[in-house]
Amino acid sequence: MSVTTRIEWTDATWNPVTGCTEVSEGCNHCYAKTFAERWRGSVGHYFASGFDVRLRRDKLALPLHWQRPRRIFVNSMSDLFHKDVPDSYIASVFAMMAACPQHTFQLLTKRPGRMRALLGDDGFAARAMDESLVIKPIAMGAKPHGDIWPLPHVWVGVSVENQRWADIRIPTLLGTCAAVRWVSAEPLLGPVDLSTWLGDGFGPDGAPLGWRSALDWVVAGGESGHGARPMHPDWVRSLRDQCARTRVPFLFKQWGAWAPESVCASTTGAATARYLDFDGSTRPAARGARGDAVKEIR
């Protein structure tokens, strides 16, 4: 698989696993599935088995050979915590990350329950760290993190597409043994209130309270591709403002296939304008108020 990526928040992708199954409405237009299924049955192709879960052992050591520090998105073509990926294999992935402290690894899952269970398990951690010490000699100078757990250069995150899944996945994320915790609200399919989990760690007088925000980073974006569902501009504005108020880093990744009229009017003469309600329903813009209309970018 390609190592370079157009994903704005990372430098490279690493796929020691490919394939997955859908878990929630955020998966409906999974780009990885669309890509992989295109090749199902093509004899000799890397994705001849489509989006079936496959352990890609030949890719495990890839980050060892990258000397220049990179931000690496782990499993852009899968979910590492899928039930068909054995615990021992996930431990090997963590061992490789432990052996590559020059990089920053960015994990994202829609299965935080299993992630929390594994990362909080002493046996799992010991297995990963022991394995990393075996890997070390071929790491060409890279020093494993020894007995540091959680790994400081591994960011673990959850995808949340709406409030329902935020309420389920974020508390589980916060109970996970991790150094950095983040949220990807993409594709954003509804309004999300993160206030329960955001905080700047400062009191009203500006004095430090001795704790930091439960979340370290929030990314948001709209959906792309065929049949993409529109994102209300106010949903993403709200996330931006919530993060700004609490000094949590926020990245607006993209509008996706739909954008406010004001953003795309000059470039989308053939675009179809729709009025998007705050609940996500749409109707022809002519029958709705202007200003919150969105256009599909073709």
Site of interaction with ligand SF4 (CB under 6 A): 20, 22-23, 27, 30, 32-33, 78-79, 110
CA 151 – CA 143 distance, rounded (Å)? 13
Using only C-alpha atoms, the chain has a radius of gyration, in whole angstroms, of 21
- Give the CA-trace dihedral at 159, 162, 168, 170, to 10 degrees: 50
Nearer to ligand SF4 among residue 79 and residue 131 (C-beta): 79
Nearer to ligand SF4 among residue 110 and residue 136 (C-beta): 110
Report the residue count for the chain: 298
Least spacing, CB of residue 51 vs ligand SF4, in Å? 8
Q: Is the dihedral of CA 99, 106, 122, 88 positive or negative?
A: negative
Place of tokens 């540091």: 148
8 Å CB contact between 283 and 264: no
Least spacing, CB of residue 17 vs ligand SF4, in Å? 10
CA 293 – CA 109 distance, rounded (Å)? 32
Nearer to ligand SF4 among residue 69 and residue 225 (C-beta): 225
**Distances in whole angstroms, Cα of residue 9 to Cα of each of 36, 106, 123, 201:** 23, 9, 32, 25
